[in-house]
């Protein structure tokens, strides 16, 4: 993981839906006054009710410094490089790009929420399952809440009772992110790093996807190909039920994606097998092979139910895919 990718995300004063308002106010004050540390602490105490702890204030200031919003020049605080960029652009798109680039897990959380609303406990589990390097205690929800509140304050996530879901703006980001962030240099596992899969490319077609989308797909399926049982991340592809090229609107849809071994992904895209709406393996009757592997994992298992939860894939996508196969 690159050193500028931060595991910890710090909450801002002002309430869960106002993190961005607080960030904007801090940057405005710093840009106008180049304050000393004492002046910056004093401004916080005068601006936010019940805020007095210097340590608490400085923990937030140092986080903004780590992200690059703030820079300390001698005794004075000034805008950092990304702080100047954000102030100049003054839009959510720029802020989200900065936060996603500097913090682990923002994009994978948005991808996960695109599949349905989640409670804080579910969000915490999703983040830890997808990004074990985060390292917080299993069952802890404070960290999950801080991440959700940053996204809420950007207008990408909204609270629905005890759960959180994407807004229309959040869905729009997810639809574009799977391609936009394909060149990200983050890798989800040591195995991926060792095998050069930081920028992940599929075996079958020359396309790249966001590594955090890939990590989210693998995490939802326990990092295992349901057809072959392959569980080494460097040997897994992200396959799409409705194809990447023909259905760009479903590229970032988690219910349209599953992990397959590189061999089985190639076989799936070449229409040598499929799965039906009962999650049973269907093999093209014209498929002949002398491969023990393919006989064992495909031919001999024809008609067998594969281990997929019914919430994992959209069965309408499965039906649409199979309708185009002459042999089904």
User: What percentage of the chain has pLDDT greater than the value 90?
Assistant: 87
pLDDT at residue 200 tops 50: no
Tell me the average pLDDT across 97-125.
Answer: 95
Residue 205: per-residue pLDDT:
52
* Cα(249)–Cα(254) distance, integer angstroms: 12
Phi, psi values for residue 6, rounded to 5°: -90, 135
pLDDT classification of 187: cutoffs 50, 70, 90: low
Rounded Cα distance, 33 and 19, in Å: 21
Token pair for 258:
């599953």
Q: What is the pTM of this model?
A: 0.90
For residue 196, pLDDT over 70 is answered with: no
- Check whether 216 has a pLDDT greater than 50: yes
List phi, psi (to 5°) of 118: -140, 150
pLDDT at residue 2 above 50? Answer: no
Using the predicted structure, report yes or no on whether residue 284 has a pLDDT greater than 60. yes
Long-range contacts of 5-9 (CB under 8 A, 24+ apart): 5/102, 5/103, 5/104, 5/186, 6/63, 6/66, 6/67, 6/102, 6/103, 6/104, 7/104, 7/133, 7/134, 7/135, 8/63, 8/143, 9/63, 9/103, 9/143, 9/146, 9/147, 9/150
Rounded to an integer, the average pLDDT of 148-154 is 97
pLDDT at 194 over 50: no
- pLDDT higher than 60, residue 95: yes
Classified as helix, coil or strand, 1 is coil
Q: What is the mean pLDDT of residues 183-200?
A: 50
- Residue 86 vs residue 3, higher pLDDT: 86
Q: What is the mean pLDDT of residues 140-162?
A: 96
Residue 162: pLDDT above 90? yes
CA distances from 3 to 205, 252, 285, 322 (A): 31, 27, 51, 45
pLDDT of residue 197 exceeding 80: no
Mean pLDDT of the chain: 91
Q: Which two tokens stand for residue 133?
A: 């390097």
């Amino acid at each position: 993981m690159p050193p500028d990718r931060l595991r910890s995300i710090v909450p801002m004063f002002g309430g869960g839906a106002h993190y961005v308002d607080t960030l904007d106010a801090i940057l405005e004050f710093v840009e106008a006054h180049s304050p000393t540390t004492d002046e910056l602490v004093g401004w916080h105490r005068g601006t936010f009710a019940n805020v007095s702890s210097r340590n608490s204030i400085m923990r937030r200031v140092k986080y903004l410094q780590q992200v690059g919003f703030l820079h300390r020049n001698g005794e004075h605080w000034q805008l950092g490089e990304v702080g100047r960029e954000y102030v100049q652009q003054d839009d959510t798109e720029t802020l989200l790009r900065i936060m996603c680039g500097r913090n682990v897990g923002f994009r994978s959380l948005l991808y996960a929420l695109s599949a349905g609303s989640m409670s804080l406990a579910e969000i915490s589990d999703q983040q830890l399952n997808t990004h074990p390097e985060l390292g917080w205690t299993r069952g802890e929800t404070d960290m999950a809440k801080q991440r959700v509140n940053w996204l809420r304050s950007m207008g990408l996530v909204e609270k629905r009772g005890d759960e959180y879901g994407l807004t229309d703006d959040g869905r729009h980001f997810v639809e574009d992110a799977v391609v936009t962030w394909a060149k990200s240099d983050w890798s989800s596992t040591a195995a991926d790093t060792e095998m050069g899969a930081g920028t992940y490319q599929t075996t079958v077609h020359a396309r790249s996807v966001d590594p955090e989308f890939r990590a989210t797909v693998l995490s939802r399926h326990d990092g295992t190909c349901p057809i072959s049982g392959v569980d080494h991340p460097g040997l897994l592809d992200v396959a799409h039920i409705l194809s990447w090229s023909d259905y760009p609107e479903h590229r970032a849809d988690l219910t349209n994606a599953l992990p397959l071994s590189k061999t089985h992904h190639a076989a799936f895209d070449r229409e040598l097998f499929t799965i039906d709406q009962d999650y049973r393996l269907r093999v093209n009757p014209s498929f002949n092979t002398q491969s023990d592997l393919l006989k064992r994992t495909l031919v001999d298992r024809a008609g067998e139910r594969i281990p997929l939860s019914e919430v994992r894939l959209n069965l309408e996508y499965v039906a649409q895919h199979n309708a185009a196969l002459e042999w089904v």
